[in-house]
Structure formats: structure tokens, C-alpha cells
Amino acid sequence: MATVGDRAAIVTGAAHGIGRVVASHLAHSGWQVILADLDGAAASKAAADMGGAGVACDVSDEADVERLVAVARARAGRIDAVVSNAGIGGFAPLAETTLQRWTQVLATNLTATFLLAKASAADLKAVSGSIVTIASTRAHMSEPNTLAYSASKGGLVALTHALAMTLAPEIRVNCVSPGWIDTGKHGPLKPSDHTQHPVGRVGRPEDVAAAVRYLLSSEASFITGAELIVDGGMTRKMIYT
């Protein structure tokens, strides 16, 4: 069994936001981290801050994903975990959602996890490793005009348990579904943004990172095929207007 310092993880969509914080949390817990992002320069910069490696990768492209896994294997000597976090939005009304955009969102948000699992399965089996996918509470509830994104995240929840059964018993596969996580993209928050949450605040990337770190740990060794919702209780809140 590997010691903490031996373990290596690939994190996709890791140049910014949730992915970067997940990678940082793992690095500070002793993991070797390989940060993958479409923006290779930003991934390398982020990786340098945490002693990892940055790789430019289009996760919707099979050859790129295979290259990412090969680079991670060469860099770390092993792959113990894959965190499939990369995702794009593409929100638009139905009439304005082109087939091209629909396909692009599903390829990045859903197909990428299939490609990552396929490319890394042998490495993960060798060390009884783990996969964590990052879905969304939009897999369970929607706002208007989130068609491709919600479909991709719902598919990701289902793909998670399908992979868990397919790769058992050597590899555990679980999912984290964040709710509203403030990554600074949308400006300052209002007091009402926080108070509408049962826990009294909007989520932070660190909340998702803590959940990922737990699911990758030995403390979660009896958990596979599960979805951990990290949303401050919002999906359990009845709202009448």
C-alpha cells in the first residue's frame, strides 16, 4: 500500500476555480498532483505553486487524454486517483442551443470522464485507486436554459455508478455534486445569497475539495458508486412563491 507521499492524482480543469483548489488540497495532503487544463500555461503556473506538473489537455479528445495519462505515469511513476472536474456551461434557450454546442458540452462534461476512466483503468487497478467525478446539483433540479449542462451532469451521476460497478472491486468511483460554489466569477455576493442556504452561506471551493479528499482517502474505503451532494442543504429545501 502506498504511503501518502507516494500517491499521485490527476485533476482536470485544474488551472482555476474548484479544480485548482482540489489540486492544492491534495498537494498539501502529500499527494503528487498533475494538473490538466485546456489552458496549459495556466495549469503549469498553478502546478508550480504546489510542486506538481501542469499539462495542456483537451479532455474531450481521446488522444489528448491518453497523452495526459502517459505524462502523469511518467512524471509520478503511478496513478492513484483521477478527479474528473473539467466542465463548461453553454447555457442558452432551446432555440439557440446548437447541436454543435450541445455536443461540445457533453463531450467536455461527460464523455471526458469515460475517456479518463478508460485510459487510466489499468494504472488505477494496479494500486486499488479511485476516481471522483464532479457533477452538479443541476443533475437533480434545473433553472431554464441549462439544457446541455444539466443533461451532462445527470449523465455523469449515472456514469459514476456504472463505472463503480464495472471497475469493482479494485477501483472505487464516486461523485461530488456541488451546489452554488463561489469561485469569484460573478462578483460580490449579497446577504440574501447566503441566508437562503440552510447552512447560512454560499459554498466555497474548499468545501468541494474537502469532499474530494475524503472520497479519495482510506476512510472512504467502503464507499463506491455514491453521490455526495455539497450544496448547503439547498436541494432539500422546499421553496414556495
At 127-164, the pLDDT tens digits run 999 999 999 999 999 999 999 999 999 999 999 999 99
146 falls within a domain: yes
CA pair distance 45, 38, nearest whole angstrom: 13
pLDDT of 204 strictly over 70: yes
Q: Is 240 a catalytic residue?
A: no
Mean pLDDT score, 223-241? 95
Minimal CA–CA distance to 104: which of 62, 141, 66, 149?
149
Give me the pLDDT at residue 2, please.
41
Our count of domains for the chain comes to: 1
For residue 237, tell me if it sits in a domain: no
As a whole number, mean pLDDT of residues 183-211 equals 94
* Within-domain flag for 238: no
Q: Does some domain include residue 156?
A: yes
The answer to whether residue 241 sits within a structural domain is no
Q: What CATH number did the domain enclosing 91 receive?
A: 3.40.50.720
Assign 21 a pLDDT band (cuts: 50, 70, 90). very high
Provide the domain limits for residue 25.
Answer: 4-231
Instruction: Compute the average pLDDT of residues 181-196.
Output: 92
Active-site residue identified among 149, 150, 171, 172: 149
Q: According to the model, what pLDDT value does residue 5 have? A: 57
What span, in angstroms and rounded, lies between the C-alpha atoms of 183 and 150? Answer: 19
Mean pLDDT for 30-40 is 97
Find the mean pLDDT for residues 14-36.
Answer: 97
Give per-residue pLDDT as tens, 77-101: 999 999 999 999 989 999 999 999 9
Confidence of residue 1 (pLDDT cuts 50, 70, 90): very low
Find residue 9's DSSP bridge partners: 33, 81
Does residue 236 surpass a pLDDT of 60?
yes
Mean pLDDT in residue range 36-43: 97
Instruction: Output the pLDDT for position 23.
Output: 98
C-beta of residue 175 within 8 angstroms of C-beta of residue 227: yes
Q: Is residue 224 part of a domain?
A: yes
CA of 211: how far to CAs of 61, 147, 175, 206, 221, in Å? Answer: 28, 27, 10, 9, 14
Residue range 108-127, pLDDT digits in tens? 999 999 999 999 999 999 99
| Residue range 213-234: mean pLDDT, rounded | 98
**What is the rounded CA–CA span in Å between residue 136 and residue 156?**
9
Give the angle subtended at the CA of 61 by the CAs of 60 and 67, to the nearest 5°: 120
Domain assignment present for 196: yes
Examine the pLDDT at 73 and tell me if it is beyond 90. yes
State the chain's mean pLDDT as an integer: 96
Report if residue 236 sits inside a domain: no
